[in-house]
Amino acid sequence: MDFAYDARTEELRTRLTAFMEEHVYPAEPVFALQREQAEGDARWSAPPVVEELKAEAKRQGLWNLFLPGEHGAGLTNLQYAPLAEITGRSPHLAPPALNCAAPDTGNMEVLSEFGTEQQRKQWLEPLLAGEIRSAFAMTEPDVASSDATNIETRIERDGDSYVINGRKWYISGAMNPKCAIMIVMGKSDPSAERHRQQSQILVPRDTPGVDVRRGMRVFGYDDGDHGGHAEVVFTDVRVPAENLIGEEGGGFAIAQARLGPGRIHHCMRLIGMAERALELMCRRATDRVAFGKPIAEQGVVQEWIAEARVEIELLRLLVLKTAWLMDTVGNRGAHTEIQSIKIATPAAVQSIIDRAIQVHGAGGVGQDFPLAELWAAARTLRLADGPDEVHKRSLARRELKKYV
């Protein structure tokens, strides 16, 4: 149970922090302006400044840090976690700048672990190079997708092809013109055992029958710079049988495999977001005067600041422990911890950001501070990968089993 940052981690943290200060934070206002002015295809693409940041990050070797093994930077989860935290301080710029943004990260992990040589060559390589983007199509509007067995999209074998029919939404990144490939989760065999009905398959976005209909909103945001969150309809979409990832019926297992690292990434970025919000809250409270004294001297605001600091310290340790467990005993041995951080982190960070908003007054809900947008991201993560309640239920059942 040693979570200390080792030498490589410390070195990367120093370099990454410098990159944030020299390149990312100064790019934030440029980014905001470019988004504001984007029209047409550009509305759903990363603004130009992100491409500049990518080039610089790649040059500095701050690239694909998330990916363990030979295809990526080769860091452990425990080594990458503190870096993910730092990128969370500017979550719209830093993760894509480092080619470490969801859902590409999960897709690259899946291709790296389960992809055939051909699949890796065709899709993993350009993803690793940051030349294309990708999407992961799982959530469906018509069913409670948190229960994966509810999924209705069909993936049916027909000769040398699979034919896909179904409707998905909140497919992040899929509005992006650079999004070239989608991993689609669907049912290949509704008659199989409950967790063997699903398969995952690669569907190039330009395949006939793929209809990327519209961008779903998150509160009022379209997250256009991330490629939005698309509603996508698949009508008789035909792809070669070799596009299947892993084996038929293996979709649920692959989905589980991607969850562990994904949650660590999300949670560490959330902690970075919370640190940013706490910093903004402290600065604002120090600068503003109301009723004769700085807001920072108001007892209620001090209580918020203290609770935020305590909460962050609590969360960070548990996420680091989870990363360490993943590295040492694997996904399965870290099951309780992976669920725990998913339950604890988004809710707590949402609350910290909410209070930072309150300290900012009207400004807190608007576009001149990053807080409202950070809040929306944290709030949404209480639903993404299944609502908190599903995870609590599952964790409780495991706890109860100790006593029967």
By CB under 8 A, the residues from 279 to 298 that bind a copy of itself are 279, 282-283, 285-286, 288-291, 295-296, 298
* Other residues' Cβ atoms within 10 Å of the Cβ of residue 399: 10
SS (H, E, C) 112-130: HHHCCHHHHHHHHHHHHCC
Residue 225 parent element (H or E): none
By CB under 8 A, the residues from 153 to 192 that bind a copy of itself are 169-170
Of 80, 47, 86, 48, give the one whose Cα is nearest residue 64. Answer: 80
Q: Is there binding between residue 117 and a copy of itself (CB under 8 A)? A: no
Q: Residue 250 or 364: which CB sits closer to a copy of itself? A: 364
Q: Which of 318, 327, 331, 351 binds a copy of itself (CB under 8 A)?
A: 318
What's the CA angle centered on 45, arms 44 and 48, to 5 degrees?
Answer: 145
What's the CA angle centered on 372, arms 353 and 381, to 5 degrees?
Answer: 70
Q: Residue 142 or 236: which CB sits closer to a copy of itself? A: 142
The secondary structure of 20-80 as a DSSP string is IIIIIHHHHHHHHHHHHH--GGGGGS--HHHHHHHHHHHHTT--STT--STTS----HHHH
By CB under 8 A, the residues from 7 to 26 that bind a copy of itself are none
Q: Residue 128 or 334: which CB sits closer to a copy of itself? A: 334
Q: Is there binding between residue 336 and a copy of itself (CB under 8 A)? A: yes
Q: Residue 115 or 186: which CB sits closer to a copy of itself? A: 186
Q: Spell out the residues 6+ positions from residue 148 whose beta carbon is closer than 8 angstroms to its own.
A: 138, 185, 195, 198, 252, 255
Residue 81 tokens, joined: 């976690």
Minimal distance, residue 106 CB to a copy of itself, in Å? 17
By CB under 8 A, the residues from 204 to 233 that bind a copy of itself are 216-222, 229
Q: Is there binding between residue 380 and a copy of itself (CB under 8 A)? A: yes
Contact between residue 356 and residue 364 where contact means Cβ atoms under 8 Å apart: yes
Minimal distance, residue 216 CB to a copy of itself, in Å? 5
Beta strand 210-216 pairing with 179-187:
unpaired
Q: Which of 21, 125, 131, 147 binds a copy of itself (CB under 8 A)?
A: 147
Q: Is there binding between residue 37 and a copy of itself (CB under 8 A)? A: no
> How many residues form the binding site for a copy of itself (CB under 8 A)?
91
Q: Residue 132 or 344: which CB sits closer to a copy of itself? A: 344
Minimal distance, residue 32 CB to a copy of itself, in Å? 11
Contact range with a copy of itself by CB under 8 A, out of 24-32, 68-76, 232-240, 371-379: 371-379
Contact between residue 240 and residue 161 where contact means Cβ atoms under 8 Å apart: yes
Q: Which of 67, 278, 325, 378 binds a copy of itself (CB under 8 A)?
A: 278
Q: Is 156 helix (H, G, I), strand (E, B) or coil?
A: strand
Q: Which residues pair with 394 in a beta bridge?
A: none
Beta strand 244-245 pairing with 289-290:
unpaired
Q: Exposed e or buried b for every residue in 182-197, given b needs 16+ CB within 10 A?
A: bbbbbbbeeeeeeebb
Minimal distance, residue 186 CB to a copy of itself, in Å? 17
Binding mask 340-369 for a copy of itself (x = CB under 8 A): x--xx------------xx--xxxxxxxx-
Q: Which of 29, 190, 330, 387 binds a copy of itself (CB under 8 A)?
A: 387
Q: Is there binding between residue 34 and a copy of itself (CB under 8 A)? A: no
